[in-house]
Amino acid sequence: MSDRQSSNAYWQANLRIIWVCLAVWALASYGFAIILRPLVSGIKIGGTDLGFWFAQQGSILVFIVLIFSYAARMNRLDRDHGVDE
Amino acid sequence: MTQFTLNLIFIGLSFALYIGIAIWARAGSTAEFYAANRGVSPVMNGMATAADWMSAASFISMAGLIAFTGYDNSTYLMGWTGGYVLLAMLLAPYLRKFGKFTVPEFIGDRFYSKTARIIGVICLLIISITYVIGQMTGVGVTFSRYLEVSNSTGLWIGAAMVFCYSVLGGMKGITYTQVAQYIVLIIAYTIPAIFIALQLTGHVLPQTGLFGTLNGTDTKFLTKLDQVVTDLGFRSYTEHHGGTLNMVLFTLALMIGTAGLPHVIIRFFTVPKVSDARKSAGWALVFIALLYTVAPAVGSMSRFNLTATMWPGAQTGETFSQPAVSLDSIENDEDKQWMRNWQVTGLLNWEDKNGDGLIQYYNEGGESEALAAAVAEQNLQGNELTTVNRDIMVLANPEIANLPGWVIAIVAAGGLAAALSTAAGLLLAISGAVSHDLVKGAINPNISEKGELNAARISMAVSILVATILGLNPPGFAAQTVALAFGLAASSIFPVLMMGIFSKRINKQGAIAGMLAGILSTLLYIFTYKGWFFIAGTNMLDDTAANWLFGISPASFGVIGALINFGVAYVVSNATEEPPIEVQELVESIRVPRGAGGAVSH
């Protein structure tokens, strides 16, 4: 039973991390690059604005950072809950 | 040395390398054939995934898609990379823990249903076959352009190549050839890009050059590009022109479609551990980003170069300060040789409509004061650069920038590497579904390990043959890869896998009803605008934005299909009994990494 509880706590923690990552994922792509682009158009980058940079470069860099930080946090979580390999 | 000899040498060397790897990485068991014995390091798998994923379309067409549309086509850049975030968090680690060989196998086990598994196989086959035809035609085109053989000869050479390393080596052979192919394709893509970024902006990195200052001026490159293209009556490069809702939905459809593509998912079955599957998705994206962050620079800079070739004044941003390029220059000058080369292929053409000896390139419907003045003053009778195929932006890039012959030869080898690596990954997904899910799973469950390995090899050989024949005579649906393959992956495979992992309550009935609802609604929507089974003239509504339901394009509809899939599965599951206890335990077990172990033999 304790095993099941531990794995429940582990799963809830995993879901929380996923939600945070998905929020950042959506903000970088759908947010700054598309929907919020007019709001941040005052910030100029290299002949265009922040939204264009996010759409053609920034979002991809954010995605990479997101995956590696997810992997690192999950490794720590795996160890804390004793479910690592 | 002639260009032909150089091409032959570079393509020949790359092929010798692939065959060498194929002989070294022969597969002796089904675990090796389907999953490379789960011994591939996360970095290697990331590289192989990048080659698997980046197809002829990414290599040849994407920069051109961005070049002629600008900001609005950023959807491809975000959509084809953002899916890896979903893969890393929502699918790959749990499917690796599950530890079997194919995507339909997970669907069949989790939903304790042969029917569900067969539906999974059908979706996989439609997606992968649509996709592979495009790769095979890409191989044929590249061969015929660079090695001066006929299209069909090129296709058969390419097929023989894939046959060598995929039938012999299965996933193991494919993985290591994909690593080599990645290296070839990324070098081929980057070298011309660096040269061009240096020429235009003085930046070594194309990624920073895109936002740098145009050489010879004190204005930013993108500002000049905007000015030049709007002068000629085209839409500005950096502004948003299309609808916001459709842009969001199309990006989302590409993202969840990417995460649901079986040939990408199975790559994550090859790593030793669950934690490796997460990390490997990150590495895959790093290697993909090396091309995807260069592509916007290649697109915008080659658009600029093309425009400045047609209007020499555009070189400094003063488009109409000098007359347009003369017909005499195009037909005789050494630095316009590339235009004559590409005219032969039909991808580029021009016509002096007003007979003034100059070739004026502009947008006929464009509204720009400078253009209106030029039209009146120069008595323009219409755009005189009559054909510009977008693929030319990458393929002719080295020639436009006057780069040496060996760079052109590398681009040829890179284009072939991109097409061949994706074709091999798709063919493996197809043959795995046939031998593992159909032959062993449904027709002959008692087949021996050796028998299954033979079945896998035979189905691989047959798939190659079928793909080649379809590549020679591409059917109508082959051109609809984005709508059909991504739509189906988004509306069927991604939701069913995600629900199988994140819910214990979704049962057999729910999964089957959800998948069918998702696929059928998506197909219905696509067929309504593209014609029944893509037969021209049978569409019920014209494929224009005004006719689309809420402005949603057929290629974006996969997102709605996915929502329908989720909704139907939820309602049907809650109206029927819970899944059996052992299935709920299976879900518990795939959620924790411990116990993934090495190869699973069965």
Q: Chain A interface, mutation test: which of B45, B78, B241, most A Cβ atoms within 10 Å?
A: B78
Closest CA to B419 of B40, B193, B148, B146: B146
d(CA B61, CA B92): 28
Q: In whole numbers, what is the pLDDT of chain B averaged over residues?
A: 92
On chain A, the residues whose CB falls within 8 A of the CB of B275 are 71, 74-75, 78, 84-85
Of B356, B141, B166, B125, the closest CA to residue B263 belongs to: B125
| Partner residue opposite B84 with nearest CB, options A55, A67, A82 | A67
Closest CB to A63: pick one of B71, B85, B591: B85
Token output for B339: 């235009």
A76 touches chain B (CB under 8 A): no
CA dist A81 and A79 (Å) reads 5
Q: What does the pLDDT average to over B576-596?
A: 93
Q: Which of A4, A16, A8, A7 is nearest to A73 (CA)?
A: A16
Tell me what percent of the residues of chain B surpass a pLDDT of 70.
Answer: 99
What are the sequence ranges of the domains in chain B?
Answer: 3-300+404-591
Condensed to tens digits (0 to 9), the pLDDT of residues B388-442 reads 988 888 888 888 777 888 988 999 899 999 999 999 999 999 999 999 999 999 8
Interface of A with B in 27-46 (CB under 8 A): 29-30, 33-35, 37, 45-46
pLDDT band at B77 (very low <50, low <70, confident <90, very high): very high
Q: Which of B81, B212, B594 sits opposite A63 (nearest CB)?
A: B81
CA distance B333 to B348: 17
pLDDT digits (tens, 9 = 90+) for B240-289: 998 899 999 999 999 999 999 999 999 999 999 999 999 999 999 999 99
Please report residues of B whose CB lies closer than 8 A to that of A82: 594
Q: What is the CATH number of domain B3-300+404-591?
A: 1.20.1730.10
Query: What is the nearest CA distance from A4 to chain B, expressed in angstroms?
Result: 9
Confidence of residue A4 (pLDDT cuts 50, 70, 90): low
Partner-chain residue, chosen from B221, B282, B292, that has the shortest CB–CB distance to A71: B282
- Smallest Cβ–Cβ distance between A35 and the set B66, B224, B248 belongs to B248
Chain B residues whose CB is inside 8 A of the A47 CB are: 211, 219-224, 226, 238
Beta bridge partners of A48: A45
Which residue from B434, B437, B496, B494 is spatially nearest to B462, judged by alpha carbons? B434
Question: What is the pTM (predicted TM-score) of this model?
Answer: 0.94
CB contact under 8 A, B591 and A63: no
